[in-house]
Amino acid sequence: MITIKVSISSLLLLFSFAGCKGQNPFGTELLMMEKEIAIPAVTGRIDHMAFNLKDKVLYVAALGNNTVEVIDLVKGGAIGSIKGIGEPQGIAYIPERNEIAVASGGNGDCVFFNAATFENVATVHLAR
């Protein structure tokens, strides 16, 4: 008797979705791949990314590499690498200061770099 009830409820569930067509795809005309950019110096996984709209530069937190890779999107290649950040994860570009903020998963610090020179300008030590 139990199997009949399960079968009937399964059929009712199946037929309730029979007229459902789902949502049509949307936005496909807005996002189109322009180019593929390899970062051969990076090993391991990457985490967050940040975009510098003015200079058309992408900052990639290469978590497994302990670096932040700087990618020129116009030229289509790496133009720099910020080394020595333990497990870079969160990353943000601050246009008002032309700085890159990088959160380190290794030691919990938030490190700020000059976006033009990649020099460390400040470090905030956060409790873990």
pLDDT at 19: 61
Round to whole Å and give the CA distance between 62 and 84. 11
Question: What distance in Å separates the CA atoms of residue 85 and residue 73, rounded to the nearest whole number?
Answer: 23
pLDDT in tens, 11-34: 555 556 556 667 777 777 777 788
- Give 4's strand partners: none
pTM equals 0.74
Structural domains in the chain, CATH included, are 35-124 (2.40.10.500)
| Tens-place pLDDT, residues 109-121 | 999 999 999 999 9
Structure confidence by residue, pLDDT tens digits, 38-58: 888 888 888 899 999 999 999
DSSP-based helix, strand, coil % in the chain, nearest 5: 15, 35, 50
Sheet holding 57-62, edge to edge: 49-52, 57-62, 67-72, 77-83
Evaluate whether 83 touches 67 at the Cβ level (below 8 Å).
yes
Query: How high is the pLDDT of residue 95?
Result: 97
Would you state the pLDDT for residue 65?
Answer: 92
